[in-house]
A and B are shown apart, each in its own frame.
Chain A
Amino acid sequence: MSKDQNSLEMNLAAKNQSTSSNGIDLSVNIAGVTLKNPITTASGTFSPHESSEFYDLSELGAMITKGVASVPWDGNPVPRIAETYGGMINAVGLQNPGVDYYIEHEIPFARKFDTKIIANVAGHSIPEYCDVVERLSEADVDMLEVNISCPNVKEGGIGFGTNPAMAAEVTRAVKRVSKKPIIVKLTPNVTDITEIAKAVEAEGADAVSLINTLLGMRIDVHRKRPVIANKMGGFSGPAIKPVAVRMVYQVRRAVKIPIIGLGGIMTGEDVVEFLMAGADAVSIGTAAFANPTAPVDIKNELIAYMQRYGFKNLQEIREAFQG
């Protein structure tokens, strides 16, 4: 069987599965790739090996894996984590084993599951982003998510995501070398996120994901110093959800490409909020720290919501929103 036939059959199987529960169709198409449901995992909060110890990854619409760079990165010193009211701050600094290790060890394991693989790409410079994208273009992944928005890496990262011209430049460069659809992940740490979204759409980004973490800080008043070693870090969790919903709403009205919405989703009704704001799919992040099976539980809550209101597919939810 050819690879195309194989993937066609798998798509049909996914389609069947997506409509199996009470006539509800959860499937969504992102840049030509069909996800059987809109639930994905936010990069950095998911690992195929560790997460699969708690739930069947085939339940996911797609797995978005942790950022990989062209070479291994050590990340930031510890402590890297601080809890905040209704959220947390992290400054892991994109510690990762590098793209070669990812291709050799992570993808084959992830492929055992009936779901799409979206590889998240990290870099300090445009050549580094392009190097990773080129290599992943030849690897067995379905899409790439380019992280131009990590607040925890000094050179690059967020620098590309806060300036429309630089965001456009990265997008243009990676699109030139990529054979896979490109999702560009946007930072909320900007004055007008629609400017960045429009800039990456104009350079051919196939989709955008938003929001990455908000830059935050916590101070230990007893020890009289910052809680995390990096001083500042990325603020995530349910506390940031209103900011994320607002930005998805704004970006939906500024660009035509699909949006993967994320930021503080804890429940199925939170997913509905993002869909109504204009997201095509969503990512579950920090919720998976508070509950390792959160992506599956949230999917089931989404189905329960749809049953309650008689929605048959995700588009009906989006169209029902009056705002």
Chain B
Amino acid sequence: MSKQVVEGKIIGQSEIAPMIFKMIIHAPEVAASAHCGQFVNVYPKSKSTLLPRPISISEIGEETITLVYGVVGEGTREFMQYETGESIRVSTALGNGYSVQEAGVCVLVGGGIGVPPLVELAKSIKGEKIAVLGFREDPILVETLESLGVTVYIATDSGKVGFKGNVIDLIKAEGIKGDYFYACGPKVMLRALSAYCETQNVPVQVSMEERMGCGYGVCVGCVTKIKADNEKGFVLKKVCKDGPVFLGSEVKWDE
């Protein structure tokens, strides 16, 4: 079997920003299976929360993975209480992940809780790297990215840190140029960035988010429209299985 759910062990967990947690899990099978931009299903222990929580992989170690997640509901509220040494049910890596390209300057664009997968992506990219990160208030993972040799630009909605505004405006204001873009964040950001990259004639890979049921491709809950040469002009693809990463130019953004 190429995929499995394993019992990982928590090596450490800390709150890196208000209600944003970084968790390191010892799970050799998961680490061995993983590639940047993929996600794992984390299965709550509570019987009342049945469905797995899909969480992007922030870093991949020899035998560990690092997850950075926001507490948004009952499942993640359970995870934040896990102590070091406690077990955690987690799947091996799911989804396609980023396809790392050879390019001159790479620009990594992240929004909020979309920033974590950019860390492992940055490790995988050779050459010059720029990150443009947008947050509501409190930036995360800035030092981590800088320690990987990434030049980081920050925008916040409030202007509390860095540029006041969104990442697209920041890219324009700073005149940031790149040969290849990668992104993860809210749909509105991915849509605006894809439109911007089209005007610049540079490719962008976007990691999409959609409400999932099973997380491994059987329930068909998390579909998105991908352009196709048929009479409707699109086909429906599963974000969990066919994605989460798509080319910005192939996504049909009209909703």
A-side residues, CB < 8 A to B, are 44-47, 49-56, 66, 74-75, 77-83, 85-88, 90, 92, 95, 237-238, 286, 288-293
B-side residues, CB < 8 A to A, are 1-5, 43, 47-52, 91, 210-224, 232, 236, 241, 255
Does the CB pair A77–B1 fall under 8 Å? no
Does the CB pair B241–A90 fall under 8 Å? no
- With a cutoff of 8 Å between Cβ atoms, the chain B residues found around residue A55 in the complex are 1
Does the CB pair B221–A288 fall under 8 Å? no
Q: Given B2, B48, B52, B211, which contacts A85 in the complex, CB threshold below 8 Å?
A: B48
- With a cutoff of 8 Å between Cβ atoms, the chain A residues found around residue B91 in the complex are 292
Does the CB pair B221–A81 fall under 8 Å? yes
**Main SS class of interface, A:** loop
Distance (Å) between the CB of A99 and the closest chain B CB?
17
Instruction: Give B222's nearest chain A residue, CB to CB.
Output: A78
- With a cutoff of 8 Å between Cβ atoms, the chain B residues found around residue A87 in the complex are 50
- With a cutoff of 8 Å between Cβ atoms, the chain B residues found around residue A238 in the complex are 47, 50
Does the CB pair A54–B3 fall under 8 Å? yes
Does the CB pair A88–B216 fall under 8 Å? no
List 22 contacting pairs A-B, 8 Å CB cutoff, sorted by A.
A50-B241, A54-B1, A54-B216, A78-B210, A78-B211, A78-B221, A80-B211, A80-B213, A80-B221, A80-B222, A81-B222, A83-B50, A86-B48, A86-B50, A88-B50, A90-B219, A95-B236, A237-B50, A238-B50, A289-B50, A290-B52, A291-B5
- With a cutoff of 8 Å between Cβ atoms, the chain A residues found around residue B217 in the complex are 47, 49-50
Distance (Å) between the CB of B113 and the closest chain A CB?
18
CA distance A78 to B216 in the complex (A): 17
- With a cutoff of 8 Å between Cβ atoms, the chain A residues found around residue B48 in the complex are 85-86
CA distance A78 to B210 in the complex (A): 8
- With a cutoff of 8 Å between Cβ atoms, the chain B residues found around residue A50 in the complex are 216-218, 241
Known: A47-B217, A78-B223, A92-B219. A292 touches B5 (CB 8 A): yes
**Main SS class of interface, B:** loop
Instruction: Give A55's nearest chain B residue, CB to CB.
Output: B1
Instruction: Give B210's nearest chain A residue, CB to CB.
Output: A78
Distance (Å) between the CB of A97 and the closest chain B CB?
10
Known: A54-B4, A81-B221, A290-B52. A86 touches B47 (CB 8 A): yes
Distance (Å) between the CB of B31 and the closest chain A CB?
18
Instruction: Give B211's nearest chain A residue, CB to CB.
Output: A79
CA distance A21 to B22 in the complex (A): 45
13 extra A-B contacts, CB within 8 A, seeds A289-B218, A290-B43: A49-B217, A52-B1, A56-B1, A74-B232, A80-B222, A80-B223, A81-B51, A81-B221, A87-B50, A90-B213, A92-B220, A291-B43, A293-B5
- With a cutoff of 8 Å between Cβ atoms, the chain A residues found around residue B213 in the complex are 80-81, 88, 90, 289
- With a cutoff of 8 Å between Cβ atoms, the chain A residues found around residue B5 in the complex are 54, 291-293
CA distance A77 to B236 in the complex (A): 10
Instruction: Give A41's nearest chain B residue, CB to CB.
Output: B218
Q: Given A45, A77, A82, which contacts B219 in the complex, CB threshold below 8 Å?
A: A45
- With a cutoff of 8 Å between Cβ atoms, the chain B residues found around residue A49 in the complex are 217
Q: Given B43, B51, B223, which contacts A88 in the complex, CB threshold below 8 Å?
A: B51
Distance (Å) between the CB of A242 and the closest chain B CB?
15
Does the CB pair A75–B216 fall under 8 Å? no
CA distance A45 to B213 in the complex (A): 10
Distance (Å) between the CB of A112 and the closest chain B CB?
14
CA distance A183 to B5 in the complex (A): 33
Instruction: Give A227's nearest chain B residue, CB to CB.
Output: B211
Instruction: Give A51's nearest chain B residue, CB to CB.
Output: B218
Does the CB pair A45–B218 fall under 8 Å? yes
Does the CB pair B220–A46 fall under 8 Å? no
- With a cutoff of 8 Å between Cβ atoms, the chain B residues found around residue A46 in the complex are 218
- The 10 A-B residue pairs whose C-beta atoms are closest, nearest first, are A50-B217, A81-B221, A79-B211, A289-B214, A81-B213, A53-B3, A47-B218, A80-B221, A290-B50, A53-B2
CA distance A288 to B50 in the complex (A): 10
Distance (Å) between the CB of A88 and the closest chain B CB?
6
Distance (Å) between the CB of A142 and the closest chain B CB?
21
Most buried by A among B4, B212, B214, B255: B214
Known: A54-B3, A78-B210. A288 touches B218 (CB 8 A): yes
Instruction: Give B91's nearest chain A residue, CB to CB.
Output: A292
Does the CB pair A289–B51 fall under 8 Å? yes
Instruction: Give A79's nearest chain B residue, CB to CB.
Output: B211
CA distance A238 to B213 in the complex (A): 15
Distance (Å) between the CB of B91 and the closest chain A CB?
8
Does the CB pair B1–A95 fall under 8 Å? no
Distance (Å) between the CB of A54 and the closest chain B CB?
5
CA distance A56 to B4 in the complex (A): 12
CA distance A55 to B5 in the complex (A): 11
Does the CB pair A53–B50 fall under 8 Å? no
